[in-house]
């Protein structure tokens, strides 16, 4: 009896999952149709509904970025293309749009970021997982077989594991240790402290990518890497990538 | 050869000494521009001194009865030909007659190296004042007596500024004239502060003019400076006053002229002109051409190109020259029309400005680089230039004459793999605008987590292989340990194995199977065999007793083992005589005793 209940529960869950995915897919298709009809506001609304369901898809982010661009929200457009880029850094469409948005906002891509970002953090994680597993598999094999080639295979796998682990850590440091954000309004002031009464240190244009270093009472401590500037900006003016 | 050179050098030296000896061919001449003048006119006396010398002295003027003389500058020309210096000095004097009559200007004398050089005397007839108006500074002629009265009451020194028009269009030239009038000796170089001309693009109009003229019938030495002003935006502007500071002779009017020359002293005078208001009108919007870029004046345009035959993709230089009068620097770039067959690159500009006749004129040249995109006989782009003509107050547009050029096809492509040669014109991809790429319509709504390593399956896989490895390591180590220490292992496992066999017997008994004596015997012999590291199958009671005695086992234990062993032996060989009750008792007895033996048998 217990087995029957378990099977029924699993079947029900699977069916519900399929129906849920199908609903989201139809939302996605509908949003695409609205985009084609140039009803960008409704299209964006539908795309964002899918995103709010917890979907983390490169195509979804790419289309959201496109829609924001058509609506003239360059900051939001850059924010979502960055999200798409982090999932799929070698997608030619994503790369093209990201480069164009960078050019439009007067920014240039950091060379190290483009090298380290060639593989996404998930791809690097999978590679490291496979390599670590291989190390232990070959260590087990070497308990039973003692061959010269096995030594070199182990050496190669361990070397690759070290390289990819360092790459993974560098990717984490560059892209995830301190979260990034994008300036959403046209141009905002960065203050010397988390208050409007503080001195305005510098201004940041819309679409400028900034690194978030800290947070305090609705204010974000931000840094502009290329200019080596640091200041405080109100949280609602930043779209976190 | 050396001798010839030596003689030649001496001859050259002698010749140069002779040229020095025969130098100083000095001559002097004097002339006037007019021998008959009226009393309100001036006559210019020109004294020319020339000679083969560099430093000729200034000639001495004779007593000039009936005239007041002013120096109006000098010019010098020095030339060196074959090492010989020749100099020519021209001195100009303005002679202003005091009264009518006939006057003789005596010889002008030049004293040089002990010699005295003289000019011929000149006769000048001064007629009474003519009724014609005074022309020099726009004042009317005055009778000599009135003039003299005016001269006495007039200012000795002052400045004026005026402009040639009070209303102008944006970028229309306005000439600002500054004049400095003086009839006293200036003891220092005047410091001139030009007026502030905010809202105008100013261009100096050299040269500075120095002359003698009259103002309100009074003779003055005048310095005149002109500036061209180009208004930059419409509106009402004020040209601020010009200022001039100088040190002049100070004469007290009460002192007699004779003493005045002895007691004159310098004083610093600051002069200021009046401000001038100007109204600048905007250029009319009506009929303003599309190609108009703010040029105002009078212009013409010429267009040239450097090549008539080119290959597609090669550059052609269009040289567009706009020439005329106006603000040359601000001439806007002419517009190219019908450029669909060309790609236009950046333009290089240069200008040439002339200020002759106190007018800004010249030319601005635009070098426009164009590259044909198609082959054939194609027309050059039309060059269109528009400007606002000051005279007619209308916009005018100049369009270049249409010209054709021959464009040969571009690069010839190499043969392809099939050997078929193709000839094609290289065409650039024309970028109209940069836009983002289109949405992903066929995109899959595949969810992926931000960090895959936070998934449970990822962690499990990551831990599985290390765990497997350590399990294998453990197993290998255990086996090795068993291999090395089997006796100990067997001893430790002896009790557990025996108890398991007893439990098996108990289960059989519960099922009604009373033939468990063999199992119980194996439990006992197995226990003792493993304890003594002997094979249980070949173990005898005698061997067991001997070993137990050797290790000093208690007699009670020996008795218990002997008793149970014999009972089980009996049951094995006479199974028909045993009862179920007896088997159960024996099983319990063995289980109880074997546990006690574990503590009492010390090996």
pLDDT in tens, B323-347: 999 988 888 888 888 887 888 877 7
Q: Is 90 exceeded by the pLDDT of residue B586? A: no
> Scanning every residue of chain B, which has its alpha carbon at the shortest distance from the alpha carbon of A29?
B441
Residue of B nearest to A123 (CA): B452
Establish if A32 touches chain B: CB-CB under 8 angstroms.
yes
CA nearest A81 in B: which residue? B436
- Tell me if B469 and A35 make a contact (CB, 8 A cut-off): no
DSSP B424: -
Please indicate whether, in this complex, the C-beta atoms of A139 and B469 are within 8 angstroms of each other. Answer: yes
A96–B466 CB contact, under 8 Å: no
For the cut 80, the answer to whether the pLDDT of residue B354 exceeds it is yes
The pLDDT tens digits of the residues spanning B192-207 come to 888 888 888 888 888 8
Mutation target vs B (from A25, A59, A84; most B CBs, 10 A cutoff): A59
**Measured distance CA(B159)–CA(B194) in Å, rounded:** 11
Q: Which of B440, B450, B466 sits opposite A93 (nearest CB)?
A: B440
> How many CA atoms does the CB half-sphere of B552 hold within 13 Å?
2
Burial class, B249, CB count within 10 angstroms (exposed 0-12 / middle 13-18 / buried 19+): middle
Tell me the pLDDT of chain A (241 aa) as tens digits.
566 666 666 655 555 555 555 677 788 889 999 998 888 899 999 999 988 887 778 889 999 999 998 888 888 899 999 989 988 999 999 999 998 888 888 888 888 888 998 999 989 999 999 999 999 999 999 888 888 888 999 999 999 999 999 999 999 888 888 888 888 877 788 888 888 888 888 888 888 888 898 888 889 999 987 778 889 998 888 888 8
Q: Show residues of chain B in contact with A125, CB under 8 Å.
A: 451-453, 458
Kindly list the residues from chain A whose CB atom is less than 8 angstroms away from the CB atom of residue B479.
Answer: none
Is the ipTM reported for this complex over the cut 0.90? no
User: Could you give the count of Cα atoms lying within 13 Å of B588 in the half-sphere of its Cβ?
Assistant: 5
A98 part of contact set with chain B, CB < 8 Å: no
Q: What residues does B209 pair with on adjacent strands?
A: B224
pLDDT value at position B36?
A: 84
Give the one of B445, B458, B468 whose C-beta lies nearest to A25's C-beta: B445
The per-residue pLDDT for B448 is: 61
Q: Report which of A49, A81, A82, A50 is spatially closest to residue A67, judged by C-alpha positions.
A: A81
Report how far residue A192's alpha carbon sits from residue B470's, in angstroms, rounded to the nearest whole number.
55
Question: In percent, how much of chain B has pLDDT > 70?
Answer: 79
Global pTM value: 0.41
Q: Residue B47 CA to chain centroid, in angstroms? A: 58
Instruction: Decide if B283 contacts B296 (C-beta within 8 A).
Output: yes
Task: Please report the pLDDT score of residue B535 as a whole number.
Answer: 85
- When CB atoms are compared, the residue of A50, A69, A140 closest to B445 is A50
**Can you tell me the mean pLDDT for B217-238?**
88
According to the model, what pLDDT value does residue A169 have?
A: 93
Residues of B with CB under 8 A from a CB of A: 434-441, 443-453, 458, 461-462, 464-466, 468-469, 472-473, 476
- Which residues, in sequence order, are bridge partners of residue B193? B243
Is A23 in the B-facing interface, judged by CB distances under 8 Å?
no
- Quote the distance between the C-alpha of residue B14 and its chain's center: 64
A148-186 residue pLDDT tens: 888 999 999 999 999 999 999 999 888 888 888 888 877
Number of H helices, E strands in chain A: 8, 7
Q: How far is B485 from chain A (nearest CA, A)?
A: 21
Are B402 and B380 in contact by the 8 Å Cβ rule? The answer is: yes
CB atoms B439 and A66 under 8 Å: yes
């Amino acid at each position: 009896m217990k087995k029957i209940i378990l099977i029924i529960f699993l079947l029900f869950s699977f069916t519900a999952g399929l129906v849920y995915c199908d609903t989201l897919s139809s939302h996605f298709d509908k949003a695409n149709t609205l985009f084609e009809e140039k009803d960008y506001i409704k299209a964006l609304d539908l795309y964002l509904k899918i995103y709010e369901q917890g979907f983390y898809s490169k195509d979804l982010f790419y289309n959201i970025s496109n829609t924001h661009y058509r609506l003239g929200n360059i900051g939001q457009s850059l924010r979502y293309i960055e999200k798409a880029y982090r999932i799929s850094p070698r997608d030619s469409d994503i790369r093209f749009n990201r480069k164009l948005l960078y050019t439009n906002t007067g920014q240039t891509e950091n060379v190290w970021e483009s090298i380290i970002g060639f593989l996404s953090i998930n791809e690097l994680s999978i590679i490291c997982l496979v390599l670590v597993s291989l190390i232990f598999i070959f260590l087990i094999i070497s308990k039973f077989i003692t061959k010269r080639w096995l030594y070199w295979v182990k050496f190669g796998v361990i070397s690759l594991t070290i390289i990819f682990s360092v790459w993974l850590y560098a990717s984490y440091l560059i892209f995830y240790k301190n979260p990034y954000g994008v300036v959403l309004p046209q141009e905002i002031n960065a203050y010397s402290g988390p208050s409007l009464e503080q001195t305005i240190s510098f201004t940041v244009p819309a679409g400028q990518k900034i690194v978030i270093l800290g947070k305090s009472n609705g204010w974000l401590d931000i840094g502009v890497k290329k200019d080596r500037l640091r200041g405080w900006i109100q949280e609602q003016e930043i779209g976190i990538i | 050869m050396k001798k010839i050179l030596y003689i030649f050098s001496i001859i050259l030296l002698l010749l140069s000494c002779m040229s020095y000896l025969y130098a100083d061919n000095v001559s002097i001449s004097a002339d006037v521009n007019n021998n008959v003048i009226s009393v309100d006119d001036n006559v210019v006396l020109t004294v020319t001194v020339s000679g083969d010398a560099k430093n000729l002295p200034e000639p001495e003027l004779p007593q000039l009865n009936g005239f007041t003389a002013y120096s109006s500058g000098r010019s010098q020309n020095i030339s060196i030909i074959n090492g010989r210096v020749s100099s020519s000095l021209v001195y100009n004097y303005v002679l202003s007659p005091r009264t009518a009559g006939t006057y003789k200007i005596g010889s002008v004398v030049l004293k040089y190296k002990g010699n005295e050089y003289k000019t011929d005397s000149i006769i000048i007839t001064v007629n009474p004042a003519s009724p014609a108006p005074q022309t020099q500074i726009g004042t009317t002629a005055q009778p000599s007596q009135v003039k003299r009265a005016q001269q006495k009451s007039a200012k000795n020194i002052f400045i004026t500024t005026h402009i040639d028009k009070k209303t102008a269009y944006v970028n229309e030239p306005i000439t600002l004239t500054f004049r400095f009038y003086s009839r006293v000796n200036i003891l220092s170089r005047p410091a001139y502060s030009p007026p502030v001309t905010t809202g105008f693009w100013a261009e100096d109009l050299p040269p500075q003019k120095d002359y003698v003229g009259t103002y309100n019938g009074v003779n003055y030495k005048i310095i005149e400076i002109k500036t061209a002003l180009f208004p930059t935006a419409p509106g009402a502007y004020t040209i601020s006053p010009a200022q001039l500071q100088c040190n002049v002779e100070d004469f007290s009017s009460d002192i007699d002229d004779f003493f005045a020359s002895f007691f004159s002293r310098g004083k610093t005078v600051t002069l200021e002109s009046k401000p001038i208001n100007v109204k600048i009108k905007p250029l009319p919007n009506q009929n303003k051409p599309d190609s108009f870029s703010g040029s105002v004046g009078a212009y013409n345009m010429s267009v040239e190109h450097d090549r008539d035959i080119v290959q597609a993709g090669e550059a052609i230089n269009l040289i567009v020259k706009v020439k005329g009068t106006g603000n040359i620097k601000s001439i806007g770039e002419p517009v190219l029309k019908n450029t669909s067959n060309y790609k236009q690159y950046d333009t290089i500009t240069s200008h040439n400005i002339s200020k002759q006749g106190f007018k800004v004129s010249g030319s601005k040249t635009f070098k426009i680089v164009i590259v044909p995109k198609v082959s054939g006989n194609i027309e050059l782009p039309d060059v269109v230039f528009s400007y606002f003509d000051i005279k007619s107050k209308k916009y005018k547009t100049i369009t270049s004459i249409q010209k054709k050029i021959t464009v040969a096809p571009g690069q010839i492509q190499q043969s392809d793999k099939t050997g078929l040669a193709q000839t094609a014109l290289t065409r650039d991809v024309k970028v109209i605008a940069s836009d983002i790429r289109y949405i992903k319509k066929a995109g899959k709504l595949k969810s992926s987590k931000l960090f895959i390593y936070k998934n449970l399956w990822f962690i499990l896989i990551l831990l599985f292989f290390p765990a497997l490895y350590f399990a294998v390591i453990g197993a290998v180590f255990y086996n090795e340990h068993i291999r090395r220490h089997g006796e100990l292992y067997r001893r430790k496992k002896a009790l557990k194995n025996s108890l398991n066999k007893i439990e098996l017997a108990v289960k059989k008994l519960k099922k009604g199977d009373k033939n468990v004596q063999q199992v119980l015997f194996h439990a006992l012999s197995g226990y003792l065999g493993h304890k003594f590291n002997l094979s249980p199958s070949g173990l005898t009671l005698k061997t067991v007793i001997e070993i137990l005695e050797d290790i000093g086992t208690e007699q009670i234990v020996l008795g218990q083992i002997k008793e149970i062993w014999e009972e089980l032996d009996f049951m094995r060989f006479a199974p028909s005589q045993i009862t179920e009750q007896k088997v159960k008792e024996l099983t319990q007895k063995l289980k109880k005793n074997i546990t006690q033996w574990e503590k009492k048998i010390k090996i």
